[in-house]
Structure 1
Amino acid sequence: MPTGTIDYHERTKHSPKSVREGGYGLNFDNKPTPYKEYTDRPTVPLADRIRPPQQSALASIAEPTPDGDPTREPRPDLETVTTLCYYAAGITKRIDRRGRSLLFRAAATTGALYHVDLYVVCGDLEDGGGDDGDAGHGLEAGVYHFDPRTLSLNVLRAGDYRGVLANASGDAGVADAPLSIVATSTWWRNAWKYGARTFRHAFWDSGTTLANLLAVAHALDYRAAVVTGFADRPVADLLGLEPEREAPLEIVPIGGGDPIPETAPASVGSITPDTAPLSPDEKTFPLIHEAWAAGTLESGAAADAWRSGRPAGSVGTRDPGDGDRLALEPVDGETASSRPLHETIRRRGSCREYEREPISVRKLSTVLDRAVRGVPMDVRGEDAPSLSFVDPYLIVNAVDGLEPGAYHYRPAAGELERLRTGEFRSEAGHLALDQRLAADAAVCLYFLTDLEEIADALGDRGYRAAQLEASLTAGRLYLGTYAHRTLGGTGLTFYDDAVSEFFAPRAAGQTPMFLYTMGRPA
C-alpha cells in the first residue's frame, strides 16, 4: 500500500533512539554532484551583468501578498531572469579551505547539498538593454534549466509553452505571467546523506530558495506568488523529469499582463534529455517517491478544486490562551536597518557558533514583524491570517527586555503569549538533536502544525503546503536576521515528539515542521 504523508512523517521522525541507531557512514566516493549537467542540450548565456535590487532586505520580505503593478512596471526581461535566478540559487560565496574551494549558494539548504533546481518557462523576453544602449540577445520563448555554475540556461524546449503550466495549474496568475519559474528536487542529491527524510527537505530547501526569489521579485516590483496546486505529471513531462529521480515542487509566476497566445500548446509529450550521472552508484529511496506520489494531482481542474475547496481561516493551528501577553516592539521603516537585499543575500550564511550574549528585543521584534506577514501562496485564502497552516513557538533564552521562557507568537496581534517561564538552554539543545548551537542561541523558533487537520482539509498535498509555509517564512527570517550586522541565524533539525511535548499542552496534537535559531555570532 502506498505511503501517505502522515505515515511518511511518522516514519521519518527523529528520536534519540533513532538517531543513535540509524547512523551510517557516508561514502564520499559516491557523493552526488550538486549540479545537473546536460550532455545533449545547447546553452544560452544569461545577461552579462546583474543589476542588484537596491530595496532594503526588511522591506523586501515584508510583502504579505503579490503587489506588483504590471500596468506600471516594465515587462520582465533577460536581466530580470538573471537577477532572479542568481539571487535565488546562484553561487554567491567562495571559501578556500585546506586547498579546496567551497562554493555556497544564495539560499540555505540542508547539508549544502543543493538538490533544488530552477527552471524557466517563458514567452519572448527582451534583453533589458543597458545604460550604454548596447542591445543584447534577449531570451526567446522556451523552457530552460538554470545552471548556477556558468550563469547560463540549458535549452530544453524552444517555443512558448506557458500554456502547459497554465493548463496544469488552473491558476490565473500563471496564465497571465510572461515567465514562470519552477522549483524541483533531485532526491538522491539530498538522500545521499539524509535518506528518506529528503521529502521533508525538498520543501525546507525550496522554501528558503523561494523566499529569496519572492523578495527579489517584490524588490523589483513584479507580482510574484507561489503556486502549489498543479497537475504534477504534465509539469514533469514539460521539464523532461522522471519523478522517481527529480520532481516538480512549486511554480512561481513572475509579472503579469501577458496572456498566453491561443496558438500556444496546452499539453506536450515527455522528453528525455541526457544528463551526466550524479554519482557512480545512485541509490533510490521508495518512501520518498511514495510520499510525493500520495499528494499528486491529475489535472488543472483538480488543482483548482483543491485550492478552492479548503476551509476558510487557518488549519492546523491553535487558538490563543490566557497566558500573559507581551507586545513586540518593531521599529518603523525609517529606523529599521537599510541594508540592501542584494548585500543581505550575499552576507547570509548559516551560523556555526553563537555567543551566549543577549540580542535586542527590538531587533527580534523587527525580524518577526517583517518576516511573518504571510506567504503569497495559492492555497491561502484572501482573508487568511498571516500564517494559515503553522504556529510559531519560541524558546527565548537571551533577549534584552524579554523574560526567558517559552512563548506562542501571534503575528496578527504582534504579541507573544508566555507559556512557561525560565531559562531552557539545556532543553533547547536537547530538542535540536542535542546540538550546542541551539543551547547557545538567543532564540529558537519552531513552526508546528496539526497534520491530521491538514490532511482532513487538504489531503496529502496539504503536507507540502504546511512544510512550505514554515520553510518560506524561515527563509524570510534568514534575510531579516542577516539584514542586521550583529545577528546570525541557522536552521536545525529536531526530535519531533520531544518538541511537541515541550510546548504542550498548547501544542497537543501538533508536530514540528521547521526550526530556526538566531543570536549573536561568535
Structure 2
Amino acid sequence: MTVGALAYHERTAHSPRSVREGGHGLNFDNKPTPYKEYTALPARPLADRIRPPQQPALAAVAEPTPDGDPSRERRPTRETLTSLCYYAAGITKVIDRRGRSLRFRAASTTGALYHVDLYVVCNDLEGSDSGGLDAGVYHFDPRTLSLDVLREGDYRGVLANASADEGVADAPLSFVATSTWWRNAWKYGDRTFRHAFWDSGTTLANLLAVAHALDYRADIVTGFADRPVADLLGIDPEREAPLELVPIGAGDLAPESERAVEPIDPDTAPLSPTEKRFPLIHEAWSAGALESGSDAEAWRTSTPAGPVGTRDPGDGERVALEPVDSETASSRPLHRTIRRRGSCREYDREPISLRKLSTVLDRAVRGVPMDVRRGAEQRADPDASGGPARREDEPPLSFVDPYLIVNGVDGLESGTYHYHPAAGELERLRAGEYRREAGHLALDQQLGADAAVCVYFLTDLEAVVDALGDRGYRVAQLEAALTAGRLYLATYAHRDLGGTGLTFYDGVVTDFFAPQAAGQTPMFLYTMGRPA
C-alpha cells in the first residue's frame, strides 16, 4: 500500500484544531539516540587534521558551482572527505547544561534529533601525512569522526547504474543521505517524511558550501533507483531510507556494475528500548520510489524546462534589494560561520537593516544545483555542458516561491512581500505590521512574532506532482529546505543576526498570502532577526 504525496501532505498538515487535539506527551525514557552505532564493524579514522574552508560564507553559499565551472576536474582526498563530513554533519559545538553535555551538529535539524546520516561511496582516495583511504562503502560516525566500513572495494558503479547520472559515474566519491524514521518520529510522528527533506536539505546546504569553498564540483542527484542504493548500504527502507546522492569532484569513470550486490545486514545498537513504526511514512516514501536507473533517467528528463509550482509576479509595487558587493560584504570564513550557527531561541525586536536582509537573500536564494534542473536545461539548450550551472534566463528557484512577512527592517515598510530573486526585487502584497499574525502562522510561537522577517517557501503541490509524480514532492521540499539552509549560513555570516526554522499551520499560511499564493502550500519557514 502506498499513500501519494498529495494525500500524505494533507494528512500531515497542521491546523489550529489538529494541533490542539493531537498533542501527546513525550516518553523521554524511550527517546532514541541521535547516532547510528554499528556493534561489530571495523572503523577507519578520518584525517588527523580538519582543513577549514577559508572562503567567506557569503561567497560559498552564492556559488552554484566552483567559479561557475561545472566541469572542474579535481580529485578529492582523504583530507577533503574529513572536512566535508565534519562541516556537514560533525559535532561542532558542545554545551554543558544542568550537568550534562549537549552535542550540536554542524547543520540545524528538527528537534535536534539528528535523524539524517551520511554514507560515503568512494574510489581510492589519496592522503597526505595520514595516508589515503581505500575504496569502499562507509558510514560517517560523527561521535568519533571516523568511518564504519560497510563494504571494501569500488562500488561507485552501483550508484552510477541506479542513477544513470554522468556526474555520479565519474565522481571519485559520492555521499548518500538517509533518514532513520524513528529518530525523528519519536517526537514528530508521521510528519517525519517532511522533516527528512527539511533536515537533509540543511545538511546538504553545508555540504555543498564546503565542497564549493574547497573548489570541488558538487551537486545533488534526486533521481535514482531507491532499492539498489538501500541494498548497497545494508538498510531497510521501512526503518531507514536513502534520500539524495551528492557526487563530489570528477575523475575516472566508475567500473561497470551489472549484478546486484551481495546483501549485508550489519548489527546496530538499539535506538531506544522500544522502537515504533509509522507505516504512513514508509508508504509516502514508497509512492515516489523508482525501480531502475532507466526509470530515474526518464523521470529526470521529463522535468519541464520552466518553473513548476511557482506563481508569476503580480502588479504590486516593487522594492529593489540593496545587497552589498563582495568587497563590502562580511568576510567571516565558512568554517567559523558553521561553528557559530545556532537556532535562535529568542529575538530582540530591534530592527535589522535592509542592506543586510538584501545581502542574505541575494546570496542564499540563487537556486539549488539538482539533477532535475540540469535535465531541463539540457533540453532547453542542447549545447549545455551537462553540469549543474544555471542558464542566465532560468529562474533561480524552480519549484518554490519565497514570501516574506516583514516586521522589523529599517528602510523597508512592514508588510507582506513576494520575493522575485531573478530581478532582485520584493513585490509588496500588503502594508502594515503583522507580528500577531506572524506568531499565529508559526504554530503560535513567540519567535514568529518577534522575528524581523519570516520567509515562507510555498509551492503549488498539485502542479509539481502532476509534472514530476510523487517523487516531485521530495524535490519541492528539498529545494525549499536547502535554500533555507543557505539562509542560515548567510544569516550567521553576520555577527549581529540570528535565525531559526519553525513549523506552521499549513492552510492558514496559504490563506494569509492569498490571493497571490492561492493554490500553493508552505514547504518551509525560516525566520531571522537580532538574537536577544
Counterpart contact for 1:73–1:221, Cα < 8 Å: no
- Secondary structure of 1:430's counterpart equals helix
> What corresponds to 1:230 in structure 2?
224
In 2, the alpha carbon distance for the partners of 1:255 and 1:467 equals: 26
Change (3 A) 1:31 1:520: same
Aligned length: 515
> What corresponds to 1:491 in structure 2?
501
Matches within 5 A, 1:396-411: 396-411=406-421
Matches within 5 A, 1:63-462: 63-65=63-65, 74-127=74-127, 129=128, 135-262=129-256, 267-380=260-373, 381-382=376-377, 383=391, 384-462=394-472
TM normalised by structure 2 equals 0.95
Change (3 A) 1:222 1:312: same
Counterpart contact for 2:404–2:417, Cα < 8 Å: yes
**Deviation digits for residues 86-138 of structure 1, max 9, x if unmatched?**
000000000000000000000000000000000000000011x1xxxxx3231
Counterpart contact for 1:316–1:390, Cα < 8 Å: yes
Point out where structure 2 has 5 or more consecutive residues left out of the alignment: 378-390
In 1, the alpha carbon distance for the partners of 2:258 and 2:250 equals: 19
- Runs (4+) of structure 1 moved beyond 3 Å? 65-74, 264-267
In 2, the alpha carbon distance for the partners of 1:498 and 1:259 equals: 50
1:472 pairs with one of 457, 476, 482: 482
- Secondary structure of 1:137's counterpart equals coil
Counterpart contact for 2:226–2:291, Cα < 8 Å: yes
Counterpart contact for 2:349–2:450, Cα < 8 Å: yes
Q: CA deviation at 1:268?
A: 1.1
**Deviation digits for residues 15-73 of structure 1, max 9, x if unmatched?**
11111111111001100000000012110100001010100000000013465769866
1:100 partner amino acid: R
Change (3 A) 1:210 1:266: farther
Greater Cα shift, 288-297 or 265-274: 265-274
Greater Cα shift, 209-218 or 74-83: 74-83
How many percent identity over aligned positions?
82
Counterpart contact for 1:163–1:266, Cα < 8 Å: no
Change (3 A) 1:461 1:205: same
> What corresponds to 1:51 in structure 2?
51
In 2, the alpha carbon distance for the partners of 1:320 and 1:493 equals: 26
> What corresponds to 2:385 in structure 1?
none
Counterpart contact for 1:69–1:222, Cα < 8 Å: no
Counterpart contact for 2:318–2:427, Cα < 8 Å: yes
In 2, the alpha carbon distance for the partners of 1:266 and 1:88 equals: 32
> What corresponds to 2:384 in structure 1?
none
> What corresponds to 1:132 in structure 2?
none
Q: Does 1:512 align with 2:499?
A: no
Counterpart contact for 1:68–1:218, Cα < 8 Å: no
- Secondary structure of 1:379's counterpart equals helix
Q: CA deviation at 1:269?
A: 3.1
**Deviation digits for residues 455-491 of structure 1, max 9, x if unmatched?**
1000000000000000000000000000000100000
In 2, the alpha carbon distance for the partners of 1:307 and 1:365 equals: 33
**Deviation digits for residues 309-339 of structure 1, max 9, x if unmatched?**
1111100000001000000000000000000
In 1, the alpha carbon distance for the partners of 2:421 and 2:134 equals: 43
2:225 partner amino acid: A
- Secondary structure of 1:61's counterpart equals helix
In 2, the alpha carbon distance for the partners of 1:70 and 1:442 equals: 36
Change (3 A) 1:61 1:71: closer
Counterpart contact for 2:156–2:255, Cα < 8 Å: no
**Deviation digits for residues 126-155 of structure 1, max 9, x if unmatched?**
11x1xxxxx323100000000000000000
Q: CA deviation at 1:75?
A: 1.5
- Secondary structure of 2:174's counterpart equals strand
TM normalised by structure 1 equals 0.97
2:522 partner amino acid: P
1:260 partner amino acid: A
- Secondary structure of 1:303's counterpart equals helix
In 1, the alpha carbon distance for the partners of 2:209 and 2:2 equals: 37
In 2, the alpha carbon distance for the partners of 1:386 and 1:346 equals: 28
**Deviation digits for residues 370-414 of structure 1, max 9, x if unmatched?**
000110000113343100000000000010100000000000000
1:373 partner amino acid: R
In 1, the alpha carbon distance for the partners of 2:67 and 2:370 equals: 13
Q: CA deviation at 1:260?
A: 1.5
In 2, the alpha carbon distance for the partners of 1:139 and 1:374 equals: 33
1:150 partner amino acid: T
Counterpart contact for 1:70–1:222, Cα < 8 Å: no
In 1, the alpha carbon distance for the partners of 2:514 and 2:236 equals: 42
In 1, the alpha carbon distance for the partners of 2:130 and 2:70 equals: 23
Counterpart contact for 1:65–1:374, Cα < 8 Å: no
In 2, the alpha carbon distance for the partners of 1:178 and 1:69 equals: 18
> What corresponds to 2:38 in structure 1?
38
- Secondary structure of 1:92's counterpart equals strand
- Secondary structure of 2:210's counterpart equals helix
In 1, the alpha carbon distance for the partners of 2:134 and 2:421 equals: 43
In 2, the alpha carbon distance for the partners of 1:313 and 1:151 equals: 42
Counterpart contact for 1:228–1:378, Cα < 8 Å: yes
In 2, the alpha carbon distance for the partners of 1:218 and 1:395 equals: 31
Q: CA deviation at 1:9?
A: 0.3
- Secondary structure of 1:428's counterpart equals helix
Change (3 A) 1:515 1:414: same
1:255 partner amino acid: G
> What corresponds to 2:388 in structure 1?
none
> What corresponds to 2:386 in structure 1?
none
Change (3 A) 1:283 1:202: same
2:459 partner amino acid: T
Q: What is the CA RMSD across the aligned residues, in angstroms?
A: 1.2
- Secondary structure of 2:177's counterpart equals strand
